[in-house]
Chain A
C-alpha cells in the first residue's frame, strides 16, 4: 500500500515537473519564430542570406556578397519589426495574466484601467497636429500613463476599498478618453488625417524602425523581469487581501507595483503597435490550459505564447495580402474563435 502511494506521488510529481519544463522550454518558441519570421515576406530571401546578415551585426565582414537591398530589408525593416512583435506580444500577454490574477477575474486584461484608451487619444491627437511617427509614439505613451494616473488620483479621494474604486475610475477615465478620441476623429480631415487615425487605432507594425525599439525593449524586458520575480506571489494575491495579509504579505503595495509595471509595459506596447486587442485576454487562458493555473508556470508560458502569437499574426498580416491587414483586425478574427473554443474546453480550469 505504501509503495503504491509513493508511486502515485512520483507520477504526480513527474507530471508537475513536466508542466514546469514545458513552461520554461516554451520560451525557446519565440526565438525560433523570430528566425523564421525574418525569412517570410513578399520579397523572398534565402536562409543563408538571413544568417549572414544577422552575423554581420557582430562580424561586419559577413555581409560581403549580400546585396544592399537585401541587407536593408533584413536588418533595417524586418528585424526591428519582428523584434517589436515579439516584445509587444509578450508584454500584452504577461500583463494580462498578472491583471487577471490581482483582480481575481479571468475576463480582464491590462486595458482595464484605461491605458489603451488614453494611448489611443494621445496618438490621435499627435496625428491631428501633424506630428512625426516618433511624436505619435511619445504622445500615445504619455497619454496612456496619464489616463491611469488620473484614475489612480481619483481613487485616492476615497480611503476605503482602493482597488475597487481604482477599477471603477479606470473604466470611467477610459470611456472619457474614448470620447475624446471620437472627438478628434470628428474634427480630423477626412481625406488624410482621419484614415491615419483609424489605421493607428486598428494596430500594426508597418512603420516600426530601430528608433522605437530601445524604449520598448527596456520597458518590456525590465517589466517582464519584475513580473517573473513576483509570479508566485500572484497566486496568493488572487485569493484576496484578507488571505494575503494573513500570509504575511502587503497586498495593496504589491498590487500597486504590479499595476504600475503592467501600465508602463502596456503603454510602451500600444505606443509602438497601436491598439492590438485580445492578446492580453486570450493568451493567458491558452497558457492555463497547457500548464495549469499556478502563476509560477503561467507567467513564463504567457510571455512565450504572447510573443509567439503576435509573431504569427504579424507574419499573416505581412504575407496574406499585398496590402497589410491591420493587426487589431487579425487578432480579433483569430482570437475570438480561439477564446470560444477555450471557454468550452477549460470549464474546469477556473
Chain B
C-alpha cells in the first residue's frame, strides 16, 4: 500500500540524514522502526507522511506518487500521531477526535452530525466512549495516545504513523496502547511505529526495520531482525536476547561497567 524506494534526504548537503531507505507496508501490518537517536527515524516518518519531500527516490501510496496527492487527499490515507504533548488549550476528548474529520471537510465547514457520529464510533473502538467530555490534558499519557489513535480512526486513514507511542508510558499503559494497536491492525489498518523499546517490537511487530546512520541495517520479520548480532551492531552496544527454548522472550543490553 505504501512503498518507499531508495529514498535519500539531507537537511544540509554535507550530511545526509537518510541514505537509501526502502520499505513496503501492506494493510494490517505493524512495522517497527528501531535505531539509535539521530539515526533518521523521525526524518523517515516526516517523508512517509508527506511533510518532507525526499531529494532522491520515490514514495508511492496505492500505486501513485505520494507528492501528487493534495494535503487533504493524503491525510485521508495517512494519519500521524505525534509524541505526547500538551496543547495550549484544553479541548475535550470529543473535540480532539473530531479534528480528525478535517481532511474530509471544506475549509469553511464545521463538523456535522454525521462527523460527530464517526468521532463517537472512533472513541468506542479504542474503548474510551465514556471519556468524550473529559478534558484531554487531564488524561494519562496512555489515554492520550488512545485518543489520538481515535482521531486517526475518525480521519478514516489506512496507515497510521506513530512517533514513539511508548515514550513516557508505564508498562501497563504501553501494553494497553500496543494491544489496541494490534487489534486495530487485525481489522486492516497499517501502522508504522518508531520506538526505543525493542521489547515492544518483539511483542507487537510484524515487520522490523533496523536503522543505523540513515541507512537500513536490516529489514524483515522480527525473529530474523531482533538478534544479538544485528541489535548489537545497531545500538553499538553488546545486547543479549533472552530465549525460552527457541522463542526470544526479552532483549537486554549487557552491562559494560565492571564491579
Say which residue of B72, B92, B99, B132 sits within 8 Å of A236 (CB atoms). B99
Contact partners of A294 in chain B: CB under 8 A: 91-92, 95
**Are B103 and A106 neighbours in the complex by a CB distance under 8 Å?**
no
Total A-B residue contacts, Cβ distance less than 8 Å: 92
Chain A residue, CB-CB nearest to B78: A246
B100 at the binding interface (Cβ < 8 Å) = yes
User: Which of A121-129, A147-155, A224-232, A324-332 forms contacts with chain B?
Assistant: A224-232
Contact partners of B221 in chain A: CB under 8 A: none
Task: Report A167 CB to chain B, min CB distance, Å.
Answer: 14
Contact partners of B138 in chain A: CB under 8 A: 348
User: Which of A8-16, A183-191, A205-213, A313-321 forms contacts with chain B?
Assistant: A8-16
Q: How many chain A residues touch B (Cβ–Cβ < 8 Å)?
A: 37
Chain A residue, CB-CB nearest to B81: A246
A89 at the binding interface (Cβ < 8 Å) = no
- Binary B-proximity of A212-250 (CB < 8 A = 1, otherwise 0): 000000000000000001111101101110110111111
What is the bound-complex CA distance between A349 and B88, given in angstroms? Answer: 10
User: Which of B33-41, B104-112, B232-240 forms contacts with chain A?
Assistant: B104-112
The prevalent SS among residues of A at the interface is helix
**Are A293 and B90 neighbours in the complex by a CB distance under 8 Å?**
yes
For window 105-124 of A, CB contacts with B under 8 Å fall at 105-106
**Are A247 and B75 neighbours in the complex by a CB distance under 8 Å?**
yes
Task: Report A92 CB to chain B, min CB distance, Å.
Answer: 20
Interface, chain B (partner A; CB < 8 A): 49, 51, 70-76, 78-80, 82, 85, 87-92, 94-95, 99-100, 102-103, 107-111, 120, 129-130, 132-133, 135, 138, 155
Interface, chain A (partner B; CB < 8 A): 5, 8-9, 12, 15-16, 101, 104-106, 229-233, 235-236, 238-240, 242-243, 245-250, 254, 288, 292-294, 296, 348-350
6 residue pairs of the A-B complex, CB under 8 angstroms, read A5-B129, A236-B102, A243-B82, A296-B110, A296-B111, A350-B90
